[in-house]
Structure 1
Amino acid sequence: MTRLIEIRDLSKTYTRGKQKVEVLHHIDLDVGQGDFLALMGPSGSGKTTLLNLIGGLDAPSGGSIDIAGERIDRFSGAQLSKWRAAKVGFVFQFYNLMPTLSAQKNVELPLLLTRLSAAERKKRAAIALQLVGLGDRTTHKPTELSGGQQQRVSIARAIVSDPTLLVCDEPTGDLDRQSAEDVLTLLQVLNREHGKTIVMVTHDPKAASRASHTLHLDKGTLVEQAETIAA
């Protein structure tokens, strides 16, 4: 499998008052193109910090992050912003949808950073919503959708620009079990049938079992790699 993500000696330190807190300690990690990786560990273990570094939402204190041949740890803020818009789709626990916008307009938001015409943005948003099973909900606002449907809208928004990488932070954490299963099945389809590389943070072993493999973090250190069989 071709390597998509190569992380070497990665550290992240935050300053709280006069105290420095090292959240990640010398992480080495490889993720293959087309992989589906679950990151697990107790609260405060550094999972979300690592996810944010992979997604270019934060910068490391030390070490290197190479994604598809690009050293994103060397990027400026403006370069990171442009890279994220083109290469990464984000799925969050609480959806982060604009409440006053329809599902279609929410999905179109990442495309506003491109030079696409309004007609092309609408077309691509419709295709993304169709892909996640919400082709008949394009005009609905978030309050008119269930939690599971809102999360599928957020996934459509994440894939509308055809990113290389999907980063998902507790994507099923606010859902009932059936909605969670539906969202995880959708992520598997995006991974297996559409070739999306996915890195997902989760506390849920059932969610992690849908990934091709699981990595565990504890106190900022990669402590275990356990192979799982995707359901």
Structure 2
Amino acid sequence: MAKALFDLKSIGKRFTKGKETITIFDGLDMAIEEGDFVAIMGPSGSGKTTLLNMLGGVDQPTSGEIWFDGSRVDTLNEGQLSRWRADNIGFIFQFYNLMPMLTAARNVELPLLLTNLSSKRRRQSVAAALELVGLADRAGHSPKEMSGGQMQRVAIARAIVSDPKLLLCDEPTGDLDRTTANEILEMLQTLNRDYGKTIVMVTHDPEAARYAKRTLHLDKGRFVEKELAL
């Protein structure tokens, strides 16, 4: 039986807007097993990004518990959360979030600057990550010298360079054409299948969701699960 990597228990999330209280989640439960690849779909405003932010420790629940690899993480302070994120989480965004003034290699190296690795070890890790995404020959190029697909590959290399247990992807193909999007999704599949990365991907695209092992449809703070045949 696969090991539970994430376990969300009775999660509540509420926002106060003026005198109004907006409830996003009320008693949401979610389990993610190690090695899973989950696509999360749902209408705009259903809480997909809020959920992703809570999984990444960027946002905290109003109530309930979040457990990761057997340890509770929603009670950590900001410093502890920063260390936990650096050790365990890789983020991939729709618009890449690359630093325009840095080369591909320097962008990929950024998460490693939070570690105690020597500069030599950082360079080796960066080179390996760029090789894995097929961009070893683009290490010295800046984002403006690359296509959208290449920039997303750099973003993936940055997300995996510190060897995190979990990749959180927020609409990772939303800014790409179909062919390029499929190449990125195939890369995520490879990271999941061959390198054991657990992946949670928020997407509006049913075609993108087909690359996941299963999909969860989020609507009005609740999940309806559908298995997706590959």
TM tier relative to shorter chain: over 0.9
Equivalent residue runs for 1:14-33 within 5 Å: 14-33=15-34
- Whether contact under 8 Å (1:94, 1:174) holds in the other structure is yes
How far apart, CA to CA, are the structure 1 residues paired with 2:205 and 2:37? Answer: 15
| Post-superposition offset of 1:62 | 0.6
- Whether contact under 8 Å (1:24, 1:50) holds in the other structure is no
Q: Which residue of 2 aligns with 1:117?
A: 118
Q: Which residue of 2 aligns with 1:170?
A: 171
How far apart, CA to CA, are the structure 2 residues paired with 1:207 and 1:145? Answer: 23
Q: Residues 31-56 of structure 1: CA distance to partner in whole angstroms, max 9, x if unpaired?
A: 11000000000000011111110111
Q: Which residue of 2 aligns with 1:101?
A: 102
Q: Which residue of 2 aligns with 1:86?
A: 87
Q: Which residue of 2 aligns with 1:225?
A: 225
SS in 2 for 1:172: coil
2:70 equivalent to 1:69: yes
Q: Which residue of 2 aligns with 1:212?
A: 213
CA RMSD of aligned residues (A): 0.7
| Post-superposition offset of 1:15 | 1.5
- Whether contact under 8 Å (1:212, 1:227) holds in the other structure is yes
Q: Residues 145-164 of structure 1: CA distance to partner in whole angstroms, max 9, x if unpaired?
A: 00011001000000000001
| Post-superposition offset of 1:66 | 0.5
4+ residue segments displaced more than 4 Å: none
Equivalent residue runs for 1:142-181 within 5 Å: 142-181=143-182
Q: Which amino acid aligns with 1:87?
A: N
How far apart, CA to CA, are the structure 1 residues paired with 2:143 and 2:27? Answer: 41
| Post-superposition offset of 1:219 | 1.7
Q: Residues 156-203 of structure 1: CA distance to partner in whole angstroms, max 9, x if unpaired?
A: 000000001000000000111111001000000000000000000000
How far apart, CA to CA, are the structure 1 residues paired with 2:134 and 2:186? Answer: 12
Q: Which residue of 2 aligns with 1:200?
A: 201
How far apart, CA to CA, are the structure 2 residues paired with 1:2 and 1:179? Answer: 33
How far apart, CA to CA, are the structure 2 residues paired with 1:201 and 1:67? Answer: 19
Unaligned ranges ≥5, structure 2:
none
Q: Which amino acid aligns with 1:155?
A: I
Unaligned ranges ≥5, structure 1:
none
- TM-score if structure 1 supplies the norm length? 0.98
- TM-score if structure 2 supplies the norm length? 0.98
2:128 equivalent to 1:127: yes
Q: Which residue of 1 aligns with 2:47?
A: 46
How far apart, CA to CA, are the structure 1 residues paired with 2:26 and 2:155? Answer: 32
How far apart, CA to CA, are the structure 1 residues paired with 2:137 and 2:25? Answer: 44
| Post-superposition offset of 1:18 | 2.1
How far apart, CA to CA, are the structure 2 residues paired with 1:139 and 1:78? Answer: 33
| Post-superposition offset of 1:138 | 0.3
